[in-house]
Amino acid sequence: MSGLLALALALDAALGEPRWLWNRAPHPAVVMGRAVGALDQRLNHPPTQRRAGVLAVAILVIGAGALGMALAALPLGWVFEIIGAAILLAHRSLIEHVRAVADGLRTGLAEGRSAVAMIVGRDVTAMDAPAVTRAAIESAAENFSDGVMAPAFWFFVGGLPGILIYKIVNTADSMIGYRTERYRDFGWAAARLDDVMNWVPARLTALAIMVVSGRALDRAAWGRVMAEARLHRSPNAGWPEAAIAPVLDVALAGPRSYDGRMEDFPFVHPAGRRDIGPSDIDAACNVLWRVWAGLFGAVAIGALMM
């Protein structure tokens, strides 16, 4: 499995998301979104929303797992595994979207806000340049965990079925895993299973960032990462943020607005620089490329040793 994963990582890094293909065919993430949306419309009705949400997640997981097993069992199943994993990994496209924020800020604040609005869910209309920069770096760190480390981990553990199950759960969480009146109960199972499936990858991402920055053996640095990661409202997203902030020496998180309401979140690495800009986004992307290289190297060496 290591060899297939190494090839998939390389293919994703080289090609990213080929627009010519997805202009002609629906991306698997779009298909997954349609499946989640259909179950939402069919099952999300009171008073049995919690049970219906569990049923929806079970249907999605079983369906994704069965599809992965069927494709892997085909005569050229290994080809489907490599291509499928490469499509579901998202390193190159992540870096492109994040670098677009830096490029936008270099043009003007409005362009930076427009670019960051493509990758975050918070309000962007009142953001200044440092706030746009923080949002981009936070998104880069979190989405490397969700979009690269976690899919790679679950492919390594369970092959094509494993990565498909992870991606369908992650898609469901992004669509219905909210604490709103409509999804508080129906999305509960998706949100909790996504937390479970991201638990190890989030911490592996933090470890990888610490390794490539030469801090893996620094017990004090680890203590700060662990303490600040626990301040995040997510049990997982805080880990990559808390690891990358001191590497860049920037303060991340802090107050931000959602749906017109300002929320007072604590800063991560509060002693770090707050007057930050495009060059710090570039630096974050460089760190994540080094993490990708470390991941690829470890997987490739593992494949050669097997």
pLDDT number for residue 88: 94
3-state helix, strand, coil in the chain (%, to 5): 70, 5, 25
Parent domain of 263: 2-305
pLDDT number for residue 263: 78
Helix axes 278-305, 2-15, angle to 10 degrees: 150
The DSSP string of 246-295 is: HHHTB-EE--EEETTEEE-PPEESTTSB-S--HHHHHHHHHHHHHHHHHH
Question: CA angle, corner 159, sides to 169 and 241, nearest 5?
Answer: 50
Question: CA angle, corner 151, sides to 145 and 157, nearest 5?
Answer: 120
Question: Contact 104/184 with Cβ under 8 angstroms?
Answer: no
pLDDT number for residue 6: 94
pLDDT number for residue 166: 97
For residues 88 and 247, what is the distance between their CA atoms, to the nearest angstrom? 28
Question: Contact 160/84 with Cβ under 8 angstroms?
Answer: yes
pLDDT number for residue 106: 96
Burial of 200: CB neighbours in 10 Å, binned 0-12, 13-18, 19+:
middle
Question: Contact 190/53 with Cβ under 8 angstroms?
Answer: yes
Torsion of CA 263, 264, 268, 274, to 10 degrees: 100
134: Cβ contacts below 8 Å, ≥ 6 apart: 250, 251, 252, 253, 254, 276
pTM as predicted: 0.93
The count of structural domains within the chain is 1
pLDDT number for residue 226: 93
Question: CA angle, corner 56, sides to 53 and 60, nearest 5?
Answer: 140
CB burial of 17-47 (b: ≥16 within 10 Å; e: otherwise) equals eeeeeeeeeeebbeebbebbeebbeebbeee
pLDDT by 10-residue block (mean), the chain, 306 residues? 91 86 83 95 93 96 96 91 93 95 96 93 88 95 95 96 97 92 93 96 96 90 92 90 95 82 85 95 97 94 82
pLDDT number for residue 303: 80
220: Cβ contacts below 8 Å, ≥ 6 apart: none
